[in-house]
Structure 1
């Protein structure tokens, strides 16, 4: 286990040049052993007893001394509670989780009725510091996290009595920690500051939270039946403070005022849009693109947020059509391949297949990526080689065919 000095280091990733399944991780808690490839249909959630995690005594001791604690008070029995990629139905004595490795984690929960009906999921991200004690309370009336913070005095009281609370705290599922790091290593405090909703606790909801609009006077010219409909059905809209603040990937702003030929060129090679996004909205940090890809992925896979799935698809599609950027940013696109390698393993093989057209979104999208990375002139040889490995891996593991061209995704040429 790493020493206290080593724990301060950032997360670092290294893909072996000959094997995409070989990866080494360094988290805020130190080095995690090498990951070996897992079955591609691994589930998004682990289940079982919250105390079923097995680890060696030295790891357990270090985690208990250096790890963080989440005290979650008054959670009803049978509530579905989870952290990162694991979840459980808690017992009556549950009071939280101990031995949480320092770093960013996603805590989520769902109320369960007496008839065993599970409510939509709610969650929040938190960057746990070493030895931090976070205290939250369940709101029985609203069946979720209390919007009022626990007072400092009460939090300090629980922090000073961790030994007494120990029998009521479940151990962090360390056997899934490698998976979580592979899914979240690019998410930073800056990523969370940009994207997390502004509402209480920064909660992320699987179902959109609606609020009614102020009553609007009806026009005299409207029919009586329409007036009655408006009077009985309040106008609703999504609560802005609960909305995830994803980046606006609309291309209309850059295209406004451009010549038709320039618009055609920009839509054939979307490097201009990527460069604009990085320079103007992400303060010149390409890593924040990767952070948003992972943030969206976690929100839809674990948080069950459909809008996050759409954002994830849009970013992957954008990154797959950037020829000039691949020439200018080879290291960035090497990281893109590593990121996607782990993400595709978390999803069932047929997840991306459209039920109507039977076309696979990811196959069609990555087809453009591989065409550029493997065949465009001037591409970094490391990127060319890694893209070829990734394509062969997907073909072998998922039986995906990247040889067929999609007419739907072909660029539209604007004639002058």
Structure 2
């Protein structure tokens, strides 16, 4: 056990009321009267959040990093964001007090002498907290055995301990894979400038009410309180917590000035829109000459991770919508399957890890967005399956195809989804209870077969229309000369 003079990374939560919902990373629990914090925090990103109840209450949380933050955001490549760090960092002890007015955790301030003295008192009392069992050991997952107090035989207990250790390591590995693209730069872009605690360590605050402007329901005179006005819970208006998401416009995925065939192809294959987004958020090397697109790809991957975690833990509606927009942009690309093979394969690898955590939310993550949530994702994966089968030549080694095969096998086993359209009966006869047979077809069949509202329209142009079109084309050419 570490000495109180050399404590392991831990977070102290003094004055936290009992039965408060507490979540850290992928696990949540209700606090007890003897709960004062969490010890043995592993290096890496962590997200701590609280709520007054498990369901119908505002959730408030914060991102923070344990260890050398300069190693963040790299994933499997060398795109880490370098930030300044003190040469001799203090022991990593985070102290967040419960604020009874806002019903949320607030850190002791870096520029307050009173808060510094209070922090010293809490740190001096670490030994007593440790001895009383008030500091709970960090765990990334909980097995049924961890929740049970029933005694068992020695071999069974040893076997269960080994299984718990394997489950714990698996949980930590999952969390690392779900957050390995996050960086201070990404969090600051999305959330805003971080707060500094009493030791000068940053934390990025988020609430379940935080939203992007495009996802907010603006009601004049209702959702725009006067400056400094507080809500009934004593909280400042959430306007300052507007998310700075990547701008994604799925209704316009072609370049400025594109017409005709180019515009049609860009609407069906969104590779240009993805490339343009990555280019705009890539770092520049030697001024504007060389563009490092790996940094732009890291921005997209990091936001894909952030939005998923916020939807999973905070039930944040805006983050869920942005996560879906990102997936629709990426999974409907065709040329990018070959041109950005490493990026596309990493997206599919990340998506599989995210799919495996859907059941962390009661009823499944997509259920909070309505019944069409699962259908939305299945349609995207089906389109991706078709694109990969058409773009990748048979017998060719493709990382994208390999990762998609893993996703395909998982959703088929878990949800009984069939992603190959040729294997799905699109139209057929259905026998009713009274013996009558009726013809049925899939709801999304019209788009694939170009029938119904998706059927091409044939318009006959008369001589006058032909002359008008010729005049308009001549006028356009004349304007281009000037």
* Common fold: TM-score over 0.5: yes
Among residues 133, 138, 150, which one is paired with 1:172 in the alignment? 138
State the 1:323 CA deviation.
Answer: 1.3
Matched, 1:297 2:308: yes
**Distance (Å, rounded) in 1 between the aligned partners of 2:319 and 2:269:** 24
Classify 1:409/1:123 alpha carbon distance in 2 versus 1 (closer, same or farther; 3 Å).
farther
* Stretch moving more, 382-391 or 324-333: 382-391
Q: TM-score, normalised by structure 2?
A: 0.61
Classify 1:96/1:118 alpha carbon distance in 2 versus 1 (closer, same or farther; 3 Å).
farther
Matched, 1:119 2:57: yes
- Contact 1:204 1:244 survives alignment (8 Å): no
In the other structure, the counterpart of 2:177 is 182
Q: SS of 1:145's equivalent?
A: strand
Matched, 1:99 2:6: no
Q: TM-score, normalised by structure 1?
A: 0.69
**Distance (Å, rounded) in 2 between the aligned partners of 1:350 and 1:368:** 23
| 1:298-334 superposed Cα distances (whole Å, 9 cap, x missing partner) | 0001121011111111111111111111111212222
Among residues 117, 129, 133, which one is paired with 2:93 in the alignment? 133
Among residues 207, 210, 218, which one is paired with 2:209 in the alignment? 207
Matched, 1:306 2:317: yes
**Distance (Å, rounded) in 1 between the aligned partners of 2:457 and 2:301:** 32
- Contact 1:274 1:318 survives alignment (8 Å): yes
Matched, 1:194 2:217: no
**Distance (Å, rounded) in 2 between the aligned partners of 1:288 and 1:108:** 24
Classify 1:409/1:202 alpha carbon distance in 2 versus 1 (closer, same or farther; 3 Å).
farther
Q: Which runs of 5+ in 1 are unaligned?
A: 1-59, 211-228
Matched, 1:369 2:333: no
**Count of matched residue pairs:** 333
Classify 1:209/1:409 alpha carbon distance in 2 versus 1 (closer, same or farther; 3 Å).
same
The equivalences for 1:1-400 within 5 A come to 67-112=8-53, 119-129=57-67, 131-146=91-106, 149=109, 151-159=115-123, 161-166=125-130, 167-174=133-140, 175=168, 176-198=171-193, 202-208=204-210, 234=222, 236=224, 239-250=238-249, 252=252, 255-283=255-283, 284=293, 285=295, 286-348=297-359, 352=366, 360-377=375-392, 380-400=397-417
**Between Structure 1 and Structure 2, whose CA radius of gyration is higher?**
2
* Stretch moving more, 76-85 or 66-75: 66-75
- Contact 2:16 2:36 survives alignment (8 Å): yes
RCO comparison, higher one (Cα < 8 Å, 6+): 1
| 1:229-260 superposed Cα distances (whole Å, 9 cap, x missing partner) | 99xx5552773321222111125485443324
**Distance (Å, rounded) in 2 between the aligned partners of 1:319 and 1:136:** 38
**Distance (Å, rounded) in 2 between the aligned partners of 1:152 and 1:350:** 43
**Distance (Å, rounded) in 2 between the aligned partners of 1:86 and 1:177:** 11
**Distance (Å, rounded) in 1 between the aligned partners of 2:253 and 2:387:** 26
**Distance (Å, rounded) in 1 between the aligned partners of 2:389 and 2:319:** 30
| 1:142-182 superposed Cα distances (whole Å, 9 cap, x missing partner) | 11123762633433453455323323211111424233223
* Stretch moving more, 374-383 or 283-292: 374-383
**Distance (Å, rounded) in 1 between the aligned partners of 2:271 and 2:457:** 19
State the 1:187 CA deviation.
Answer: 2.0
**Distance (Å, rounded) in 1 between the aligned partners of 2:19 and 2:173:** 27
**Distance (Å, rounded) in 2 between the aligned partners of 1:316 and 1:382:** 18
| 1:258-304 superposed Cα distances (whole Å, 9 cap, x missing partner) | 32433212111111111111111243221222211111100001121
State the 1:96 CA deviation.
Answer: 1.4
State the 1:197 CA deviation.
Answer: 4.0
State the 1:350 CA deviation.
Answer: 6.5
Q: SS of 1:360's equivalent?
A: helix
- Contact 2:12 2:96 survives alignment (8 Å): yes
**Distance (Å, rounded) in 2 between the aligned partners of 1:397 and 1:301:** 19
Classify 1:363/1:94 alpha carbon distance in 2 versus 1 (closer, same or farther; 3 Å).
same
